[in-house]
């Protein structure tokens, strides 16, 4: 039977004829140049070994699959005898599967498997002998630490699974691996602790992933909008991490982790806003020093978002907030600047964003030089020319530097810093208060899978504040067996059941 259309092969059964199967596979894959088909004869029976060049190890394929098959000698061998012998008596790979559908054959061979087809057998055997080049395990680039592990996730989900398993050697740690996206068939892994996560939550997440209607998935950002809450929200109800130790800490608290082939950033569901101010080093430092660093991050977030806006509002509408000497110094500095304070701040901050984007997109050997040239030379020239005043440059520099302390909130900080400047320039401190009220109302009203994003602050959970307001020592924290489902206001199980039933009804 010929497959009528290249894309209508998913559930088509494999045929008995080896020639027909090879013809159909070539038709599905369009005679692509990297498809390798090796016809062989095993004990007088025709067979074929199929793989993709560069996806498997050629040496291992020859040593582990082809040579053992060529040594097979079965008296009066038939296709059925050969198939039974290979299936029951030969261990060609630990990762071995069988399939009778073309869709599974195509997906597995593109995942680095070697396919064995035998004439007159309407089934294929798939051997996992992946040998494609992968990036080695390295230190995470976006989440630095001093005393913690220096291992980070890579782009291969099977390697990432091992990084998690090495840290949690528990039989209740479960992995679900399946392909998503009808075109790209990207492998995704859902990991969780079976005794700490409601089954309805796992089922709801898996259902959403399997229903994704995307051409391809090239990063975690493709998936997060479909897993986040549907309500308009400033801050996300999920988080991403490059660190396997952070992932392990989260899933031990009753979260679900999602790892996607091709990206080192794993998704954690659900997440809380206060976690943006926590780092792994907090739990390696002394509690009093970790608490000090926590408040440094809280202050840095406030400065990053509101400092330029408050300065603009105070200078334009509330000069009585400054003492006379400071006010005179500021007035003298701003006297030579030709622009309004609000426009001065906006130009400075936007110019910084341009410099940062250039530094990120250019090669690393050039990016640092661009940042130095833009930050020092051009900034100094702008002040010397009287376009920007020294106080404004200082305020913006403090705000930008403070944003580096909380990189996970960089997108929100950038947008609302500019919003604070505009509202402060038009409405003074009343505009800043309006922006603050909007942010608080939005974040306190948001939840994801039944967990309030602002938990444990709102709703308030006194026991959990030992890791939010301060960082208590492990002896006093008492976190053994703690899960996010125990927080006040959390209703993860019921919310997941509602979402799952809603998804099934819509489907």
Percent of the chain whose pLDDT exceeds 90: 54
End-to-end CA separation in angstroms for the chain: 32
In the prediction, which pLDDT does 215 show?
87
In which region does residue 290 sit, left (phi positive, over 0), alpha (psi from -120 to 50) or beta (all else)?
alpha
Query: Bigger pLDDT: 330 or 418?
Result: 418
Residue among 206, 168, 173, 28 nearest 101 (CA): 28
What distance in Å separates the CA atoms of residue 191 and residue 283, rounded to the nearest whole number? 23
User: What does the pLDDT look like over 60-99, one tens digit per residue?
Assistant: 888 888 888 888 888 989 999 999 998 888 777 778 889 9
Task: For residue 191, give the DSSP letter.
Answer: E
DSSP string, 106-153: HHHHTTTEEEEEETT-S-EEEEE-B----PPP---SSS--SSS-----
Taking residues 38-43, what's their average pLDDT?
Answer: 92
Residue 22 has pLDDT above 80, yes or no: yes
Q: Residue count of the chain, please give it.
A: 507
Taking residues 141-156, what's their average pLDDT?
Answer: 88
Query: Bigger pLDDT: 481 or 286?
Result: 286
Following CA atoms 442, 448, 451, 453 in sequence, which dihedral angle do they give, to the nearest 10 degrees?
A: -30
DSSP string, 72-113: ---TT--HHHHHHHHHHH--S-SSEEEESBHHHHHHHHTTTE
Residue 467 has pLDDT above 80, yes or no: yes
Q: How confident is the model at residue 497 (pLDDT cuts 50, 70, 90)?
A: confident
Taking residues 252-263, what's their average pLDDT?
Answer: 95
Averaged pLDDT score across all residues of the chain: 88
What residues contact residue 212 under an 8 Å CB cut-off, 6+ apart? 180, 181, 223, 226
Out of 123-132, 273-282, 401-410, least confident range? 123-132
Give the strands of the sheet with 124-128, arranged side by side: 35-42, 45-52, 113-118, 124-128, 96-99
In the prediction, which pLDDT does 314 show?
94
What residues contact residue 181 under an 8 Å CB cut-off, 6+ apart? 212, 214, 215, 216, 217
In the prediction, which pLDDT does 367 show?
66
3-state DSSP assignment of residue 7: coil
Taking residues 116-142, what's their average pLDDT?
Answer: 88
What distance in Å separates the CA atoms of residue 52 and residue 108, rounded to the nearest whole number? 10
Q: How confident is the model at residue 228 (pLDDT cuts 50, 70, 90)?
A: confident
Residue 134 has pLDDT above 90, yes or no: no
Residue among 100, 99, 102 nearest 127 (CA): 99
Q: Positive or negative, the Cα torsion across 249, 251, 255, 259? A: positive
Taking residues 472-496, what's their average pLDDT?
Answer: 79
Taking residues 144-148, what's their average pLDDT?
Answer: 85
Taking residues 462-487, what's their average pLDDT?
Answer: 82
Highest mean pLDDT among 15-24, 175-184, 366-375, 490-499: 15-24
In the prediction, which pLDDT does 476 show?
77
Residue 213 has pLDDT above 60, yes or no: yes
Indicate the pairing of strand 35-42 with strand 96-99.
unpaired
Out of 89-93, 287-291, 463-467, least confident range? 89-93
In the prediction, which pLDDT does 472 show?
87
């Amino acid at each position: 039977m010929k497959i009528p259309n290249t894309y209508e092969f998913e559930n088509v059964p494999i045929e008995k004829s080896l020639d027909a199967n090879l013809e159909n596979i070539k038709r599905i894959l369009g005679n692509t140049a990297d498809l390798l088909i090796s016809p062989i004869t095993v004990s007088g029976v025709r067979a074929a070994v199929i793989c993709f060049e560069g996806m498997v190890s050629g040496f291992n394929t020859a040593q582990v699959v082809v040579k053992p098959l060529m040594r097979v000698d079965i008296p009066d061998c038939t296709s059925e005898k050969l198939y039974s012998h290979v299936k029951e008596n030969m261990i060609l790979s630990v990762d071995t599967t069988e399939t009778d559908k073309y869709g599974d054959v195509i997906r597995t061979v593109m995942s680095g498997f070697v396919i064995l087809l035998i004439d007159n057998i309407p089934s294929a055997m798939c051997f996992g002998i992946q040998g494609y080049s992968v990036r080695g395990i390295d230190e995470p680039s976006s989440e630095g630490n001093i005393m913690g592990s220096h291992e980070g996730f890579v782009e291969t989900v099977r390697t990432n699974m091992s990084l998690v398993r090495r840290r949690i050697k528990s039989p209740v740690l479960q992995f679900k691996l399946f392909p998503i996206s009808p075109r790209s068939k990207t492998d995704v892994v859902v990991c969780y602790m079976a005794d700490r996560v409601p089954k309805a939550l796992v089922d709801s997440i898996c259902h959403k992933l399997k229903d994704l209607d995307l051409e391809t998935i090239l990063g975690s950002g493709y998936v997060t909008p479909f897993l986040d809450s549907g309500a308009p929200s400033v801050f996300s109800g999920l988080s991403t991490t490059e660190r396997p130790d952070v992932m392990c800490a989260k899933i031990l608290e009753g979260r679900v982790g999602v790892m996607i082939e091709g990206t080192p950033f794993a998704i954690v569901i659900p997440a809380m806003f206060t976690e943006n101010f926590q780092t792994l080093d907090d739990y390696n430092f002394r509690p009093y020093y970790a608490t000090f660093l926590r408040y440094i991050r809280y202050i840095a977030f406030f400065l990053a978002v509101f400092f330029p806006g408050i300065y603009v509002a105070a200078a334009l509408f509330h000069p009585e907030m400054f003492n006379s000497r400071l006010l005179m110094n500021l007035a003298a500095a701003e006297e030579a600047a030709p622009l309004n304070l609000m426009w001065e701040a906006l130009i400075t901050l936007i110019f910084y964003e341009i410099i940062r984007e250039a530094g990120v997109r250019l090669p690393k050997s050039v990016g640092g030089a661009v940042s130095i040239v833009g930050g020092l030379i051009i900034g100094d020239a702008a002040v010397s020319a009287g376009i920007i005043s020294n106080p404004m440059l200082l305020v913006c520099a403090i705000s930008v530097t403070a944003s580096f302390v909380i990189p996970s909130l960089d997108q929100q900080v950038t947008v609302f810093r500019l919003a604070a400047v505009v509202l402060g320039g038009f409405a003074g401190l009343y505009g800043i208060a309006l922006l603050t009220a909007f942010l608080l109302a939005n974040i306190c009203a948001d939840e994801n899978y039944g967990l309030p994003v602002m938990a444990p602050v709102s709703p308030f959970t006194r026991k959990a504040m030992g890791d939010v307001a301060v960082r208590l020592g492990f002896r006093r924290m008492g976190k053994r067996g703690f899960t996010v489902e125990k927080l006040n206001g959390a209703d993860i199980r019921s919310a997941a059941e509602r979402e799952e039933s809603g998804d099934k009804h819509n489907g």
